[in-house]
Chains A and B, each alone.
Chain A
Amino acid sequence: MASEAEIYTALTEMFRDIFQRDDMELTPTLNARDVQGWDSFKQIEIVMASEERWGIKFRTRELDSLQSVGDLVAMIGRKTA
């Protein structure tokens, strides 16, 4: 399974690509309200890119409950376990 550190490393590169900000750092509490441009489309990009990156699929209920980077990391961790 992917370790939490590995997930953070991969997600950081992904977020930097999606938001085109090389200085972006991820924390567990980071969420859409904190980041300029993190709208529903970017949210979908993050989800799709994660699914592609780890070869996983999120369920509709899981996506509805997604609030923060910490939630995403935990969910990826569970699905790759």
Chain B
Amino acid sequence: MTDLHWLPTVSDWRQRQRALTTAMPDPWAEAVSLANARIGFVLVNALDETLRRVFPTPPQGLQTKPIRLAVLGSSTLTHLLPAIRVAGVRRGLWIDAYENDFGQYMQELADPASGLHGFAPTAILFAFDAWHVSAGVTAGMDAAAAADALQAIVARIRDNWRQARASFRCPIAQQAIMPLHAPLLGNNEHRLPGSRAAFVARLNAALREAAETDGVDMIAVDDRAVRDGIGKWHDPGLWHRSKQEVAPTAAPMYGDLVGRWLAALQGRSFKCLVLDLDNTLWGGVIGDDGLEGIALGQGSALGEAFVAFQDYARELSRRGVILAVCSKNDEANALEPFEKHPDMVLRRGDIACFVANWSNKADNIRAIARELNIGLDSLVFVDDNPFERDLVRQELPMVAVPDVSDDPVGYAAALADAGYFEGLAVTDEDRARTGQYQGNKAREALKEAVTDLPSYLRGLEMRLIARRFDRVGLQRIVQLINKSNQFNLTTRRYTDEDVLAVLDDPRAFGLQLRLLDRFGDNGVIAIVIGRLREAGDLYIDTWLMSCRVLGRQVEPTTLNLIASEAAKLGATRLIGEYIPTKKNAMVRDHYPRLGFAPHNEVYCLDLRDFTPAETFIDVVEE
């Protein structure tokens, strides 16, 4: 894939791009935000045009060093410059880009009066096409002639590097040569000394070695083309038509590869990976499914996929990326797999900062940054839940939040393709980093911070579909009743027959509640069973809810529904009960929070005084 698949789709992108002007309060922040949307090459070009109009010079107060990048090469590169500039803005970098006159890079390097010297670059990228560097190489060559040809081109390229460094004293990158030549022998292409395909492979290896010696960085389009398929990167028809070696459709990815190099030079790569737990590091919900119930490890494809993702995260930590955990869970539940599950790859010691509580994730991520003493703009947050992702993006736009699906097989690729943790060198200190953070960490409880939650909730456009129990929903109702442990007031387990009995009982009601929001359908997320007792009392026999939708006002909205159902049965008072278990501490204060008064081991709410709570959820009764 050459599209920027880890970035979120922004629905009103076009209007916002058209509306970008210097007259806005913070046009640079808006530009950075627009550059962080999932857009193809046409819109990248459109954004670049706007950006160059709005920011012909670096914006005032820019936090990064402005960059003058010269892209020197042998073929058409013009179409890559917009993508490079936009990739810079994606990382808060302002880039002015220069391209040599077609084919004239050597002359311009040598001539102090050239446009290149006038431009005075602060960074240089050499981007040679595969035909240019393999000119003269032919299948008729013997081994000695091919070796000479290789040596000659490496020497020439190193000479370009030397000249560039002598003139401009700036960082230099060499784009690897694209592996686009068609093979002649086949599987054993390497045996043909004069094969251009084999030549490019050998040249890329030689360039990497030379770059190590000469202090030059690589832009690995060859590795990228292997991952994506060369057909995604190169279109032979276009090459013949316009001498564009990189197809315009691949330009956004090409630009991003360059952008992450430039950002890394300024120390602006991301440093810390913040991980959700339930359905991100393992399948299922630890608080409900328990240690034996979560999907992790051998025995299922899903379990193995989570192991593979954990392995990738641990490998990242071993090269210096800090790991943190941010999960909505009771801390004891969240820690249990780390301490006891035999298939966990990540251990508590791999996590520099471990936060599991029921506060909102934006606040918790702020706390993680504070505790690790790193900037919020160095955090990457991975969560399978689109609600949490969007909350964090909205509250903390500087935190990178890759758009992953709910399938763990894609998580490692999303992180790798996004290039968040681009590194130019690895030090011993990097390899020891997690240990340091771990040692320094004070495991204090996290303070609550203030977040503008109401405006967020309003924007979610939530709808709660309330249905009486029915046979269609039977399976899911029974499953929830028997599986939910945490948000479950009474933890009563019922069979199919028990549930069907409620359906037929004129003195009882059962409610199944489905929550929809602008991200889609969360499915049935709450179950309530009410039973009429003597003297107008309605006893809440069962009230359970999926923890996924905590903090979204589902609870008071559900109470409104219970009150109205109770009134239909002629009740004047609600009786709620909390039966403590090992897992349901989180709802200990559920009824007092909703305005119930304690009364002989249970809680009461007089319906004659009850005013339904106003919430941001629209209720649809079916």
Interface residues of A, Cβ cutoff 8 Å to B: 14, 17-18, 20, 22, 40-41, 44-45, 48-49, 52, 60, 63
Contact = CB atoms under 8 A, between A and B. Distances in A.
Most buried by A among B14, B78, B247, B248: B248
A44 B242 contact: yes
B432 interface: no
A45 to B, nearest CB: 6
A26 to B, nearest CB: 16
Contacts of A18: 42, 45-46
A41 B41 CA distance: 13
A20 B49 CA distance: 9
Contacts of A49: 40-42
Contacts of B42: 14, 17-18, 45, 49
B79 A41 contact: yes
B41 A63 contact: no
B237 A20 contact: no
A67 to B, nearest CB: 16
Interface in B216-248: 237-238, 240-242, 244, 247-248
B41 A48 contact: yes
Given A22-B18, A52-B40, A52-B249, A44 B241 contact: yes
B586 interface: no
Contacts of B237: 60, 63
B550 to A, nearest CB: 40
A41 B45 CA distance: 12
B141 interface: no
A20 B46 CA distance: 7
B264 interface: no
A45 B43 CA distance: 11
Given A18-B42, A49-B42, A40 B249 contact: no
A45 B41 contact: yes
Contacts of B14: 17
B338 to A, nearest CB: 44
Contacts of B41: 45, 48-49
Interface in B132-186: none
Contacts of B248: 44-45, 48
B240 A60 contact: yes
Interface residues of B, number: 21
Interface string B39-81: 0111101100110000000000000000000000000001100
A22 B78 CA distance: 25
Contacts of A45: 41-42, 45, 248
Interface string B240-269: 111010011100000000000000000000
A60 B41 CA distance: 22
A17 B249 contact: no
B622 to A, nearest CB: 36
A18 B78 CA distance: 16
Contacts, number: 41
Nearest to A18: B42
A48 B45 contact: no
A64 to B, nearest CB: 9
B392 to A, nearest CB: 29
A17 B46 contact: yes
Contact of A41 (B50, B78, B240, B249): B78
A40 B78 CA distance: 12
B18 A48 contact: no
Nearest to A46: B42
Contact of B242 (A14, A22, A41, A60): A41
Most buried by A among B42, B241, B247: B42
Given A60-B237, A63-B237, A40 B242 contact: yes
Nearest to A16: B14
Nearest 8 interchain pairs by C-beta: A17-B42, A48-B248, A49-B42, A60-B237, A48-B249, A20-B46, A18-B42, A17-B46
A17 B43 contact: yes
Nearest to B240: A60
Contacts of B79: 41, 44
A23 to B, nearest CB: 12
A11 B402 CA distance: 30
A38 to B, nearest CB: 14
A15 to B, nearest CB: 10
Contacts of A17: 14, 42-43, 46
Given A20-B49, A22-B18, A52-B249, A44 B238 contact: yes
Contacts of B78: 41
A23 B45 CA distance: 19
Contacts of B249: 48, 52
A40 B241 CA distance: 9
Given A17-B43, A18-B46, A48-B247, 15 more contacts: A14-B42, A17-B14, A17-B46, A20-B49, A40-B242, A41-B78, A41-B79, A41-B242, A44-B241, A44-B242, A45-B41, A48-B41, A48-B248, A49-B41, A49-B42
Nearest to A51: B249
Nearest to A14: B42
Contacts of A22: 18
Contacts of B50: 20
A60 B241 CA distance: 9
Interface in B249-307: 249
A68 B334 CA distance: 63
A47 to B, nearest CB: 9
Contacts of A63: 237, 241
A63 B248 CA distance: 16
A72 to B, nearest CB: 15
Contacts of B49: 20
B394 to A, nearest CB: 26
A41 B240 CA distance: 13
Contacts of A20: 46, 49-50
13 contacts: A17-B14, A17-B46, A20-B46, A41-B79, A44-B79, A44-B242, A44-B244, A48-B41, A48-B238, A49-B41, A52-B249, A60-B237, A60-B240
Contacts of B241: 44, 60, 63
A73 B530 CA distance: 62
A22 to B, nearest CB: 7
Nearest to B40: A52
Nearest to B49: A20
Contacts of A14: 42
B188 to A, nearest CB: 31
